[in-house]
Amino acid sequence: MRIVTSIGEMRDTVRERRGAGQLVGLVPTMGFFHAGHVSLMQAAREDCAFVVVSLFVNPTQFGPGEDLAEYPRDLDRDVEMAEAAGVDCIFHPEAREMYPERFLAYVEVKEAGEVLCGASRHGHFRGVATVVAKLFNIIPAHRAYFGLKDAQQVWVIRRMVRDLDFDVEVVACPTVREEDGLAMSSRNIYLKPEERKAATVLYRSLRLAGDLVAGGERHAARVLEEMNALIAGEPLVRTEYVEAVDWETLGPAGMLRGEVLIALAARVGKARLIDNILLDVPA
Ligand code: AMP
């Protein structure tokens, strides 16, 4: 497995593979791998002849006061895990390589970047869209793999690809969970044992939503109320939002029908955790 740090070398490597007729897959990450990341690498490995994982803690998607400096990092372990997953190449640039002095060009996916997580993390999705656009230009892959754990990110990237005519297929992969349901996240490392236990209420609340809808409930407000009541029973968990939105538009869903995203964000200790489920609600 090769580790490439320069944009020029990375671009040449991928061009060569494409020129040889190989299908190229890209898995963008910020590292500190867990089974969620590995599932994306495996999906890419199954589809593609050449798999590139980018590993870059992207400063522009962190706001002031967020955890950019403390974001967990372990390059040696990541390299081992990627190698074991059959990855061909890791792109691991320095921040200076990605953001030269007087960097001025950004990509914004308007309203959708300002709801849900975008409402509290100003500029977050602008940073995400910008770095992913750069990665698509540096690593001209046929397919790029993203996790539905970050459903709004998938939405934003798909819209960017559509609106700006990127020639790449966005593949969305299911959320990988711990045995007790907690969505795997690099940030779970921040949780103290009692917080780790309390955090399971997040997925339990999403399952409750699924059960209510399966039982015939169609009013989003009632579903969200029950979710909030369940989460309120865990004093270590402070919700930032619990929302139901239309998966087509990310607009608020009053009545639940069609593809609906139920999404939440919460603070547990010093971790900010997100989770969601996608429901296909029959009329
Ligand atoms: P990150 O390193 O957290 O930026 O994540 C890199 C990619 O892995 C993103 O596409 C995430 O959505 C995806 N990912 C993170 N956690 C999970 C998970 N638990 N299940 C599936 N994909 C995930």
State pLDDT tens for residues 99-121. Answer: 999 999 999 999 888 899 999 99
- Structure tokens that stand for 2 in this block: 């090769």
Pocket test for ligand 1, best of 73, 74, 87, 146 (most atoms within 8 A of CB): 146
The verdict on domain 2-173 having CATH code 3.40.50.620 is yes
Stretch 147-159: mean pLDDT, rounded?
98
Over residues 254-277, the pLDDT tens digits come to 999 999 999 999 999 999 999 999
Class of the domain covering 186-278: alpha beta
Give the pairing of strands 2-4 and 50-55.
unpaired
Helices (H) and strands (E) in the chain, counts: 10, 9
- Structure tokens that stand for 56 in this block: 């870059």
Whether 230 has a pLDDT exceeding 90, the answer reads: yes
Report the side by side order of strands in the sheet with 143-147: 2-4, 89-91, 50-55, 24-29, 143-147, 169-173
Stretch 10-31: mean pLDDT, rounded?
98
Stretch 159-182: mean pLDDT, rounded?
98
Global pTM exceeds 0.85: yes
Query: What separation in Å is there between the alpha carbon of 215 and the centre of ligand 1?
Result: 31
Task: Show me where the domains of the chain are located.
Answer: 2-173, 186-278
- Cβ of 149 closer than 6 Å to ligand 1, yes or no, is yes
- Cβ of 40 closer than 6 Å to ligand 1, yes or no, is yes
- State percent of the chain over pLDDT 90: 98
Q: How far apart are the first and last CA of the chain?
A: 49
- Catalytic center residues: 37
Query: What separation in Å is there between the alpha carbon of 182 and the centre of ligand 1?
Result: 13
Angstrom distance (rounded) from CA 46 to CA 21: 17
* Residue having the nearest C-alpha atom to atom 14 of ligand 1: 147
